[in-house]
Amino acid sequence: MKRKTRMTVTSNRCLTDGIYSMTLQYPEGEMPEAVKPGQFAGIYTGNPAMLLPRPISICDWDPADRALRFVFRVAGAGTAELAAMKEGGQADMLGILGNGYDLSMLEGRKVLLLGGGIGIPPMLGLAKALHALPGTEVTAAMGYRDSHLFLTEELSAYSRLLIATEDGSVGTKGNVLDAVRDNEVMADAVCACGPMPMLRAVASYAKEKGIPAYISLEERMACGVGACLGCVTRTRDVDAHSHVRNARICTEGPVFKAEEVQIG
């Protein structure tokens, strides 16, 4: 659903230091047929000086309420504008955008979810979707800088939750893979979203274990629909249409199989 929709802000609150949760509701009678975990939308700030929307991953969705939830970090002027939006106000949204995680590849398996920083929010929607699939076991290891945690209670409702913090204030001291190793987690597949150093480590871990890894690449995006070529990543195979080793994260991604992209 690559079109602009005028959404209603039904909630917007601070979860912890600099992290906000915003829920946007579709107009009566509108809602995408399906939302895949890992997809995103572009949210416009309403400031005419900021022409492009801010791409934010979908944290969760409620078809009954026609609502999408976004959890984001205030990192600049654009996200500060989003954090200041009031309940009952309106915001234009472009979406739904991108390709998410393929649940058919994960059903009935032991799935390990790894999230780092603002890569944690899409893991909630994925954990919730996987939890509903028969025979699927979900372990989630989430990485934070310190004790300013967010979404942990909700994640623990749909997975076995492990926590890692850089300063060791909560859970395992270190990163998400330290938590995985400390708890001797066994998995058939890995899904991850987070900063590039983490994704490189995840790809290496999956290769070592001989299991597939599906990673969501974080990158600055502009148009969100593949026209500007501002979010290109290198691929291992040549694209059949463009005849180059490139893929647009906003359209071919953001989720890729780790072995398909060159991130190391």
pLDDT digits (tens, 9 = 90+) for 77-123: 999 999 999 999 999 999 899 999 999 999 999 999 999 999 999 99
- Count of alpha carbons within 13 angstroms of residue 26, beta-carbon side: 21
CA distance linking residue 30 with residue 209, whole number of Å: 44
Q: Where are the domains of the chain?
A: 3-97, 103-216, 217-264
DSSP 256: E
CA distance linking residue 225 with residue 82, whole number of Å: 21
Specify the CATH class of 103-216 in words. Answer: alpha beta
Q: Are 139 and 110 in contact (CB under 8 A)?
A: yes
Question: Between the CA of residue 32 and those of 2, 67, 96, 223, 231, what are the distances in Å?
Answer: 10, 10, 8, 20, 25
- pLDDT, tens digit, for every residue of 209-262? 999 999 998 765 656 665 665 666 666 666 555 556 677 666 776 899 998 887
Architecture of domain 3-97: Beta Barrel (2.40)
CB within 8 Å of 237: residues ≥ 6 apart: 245, 260
Architecture of domain 217-264: Ribbon (2.10)
The residue type at 237: D
Count of Cβ atoms closer than 10 Å to residue 32 Cβ: 17
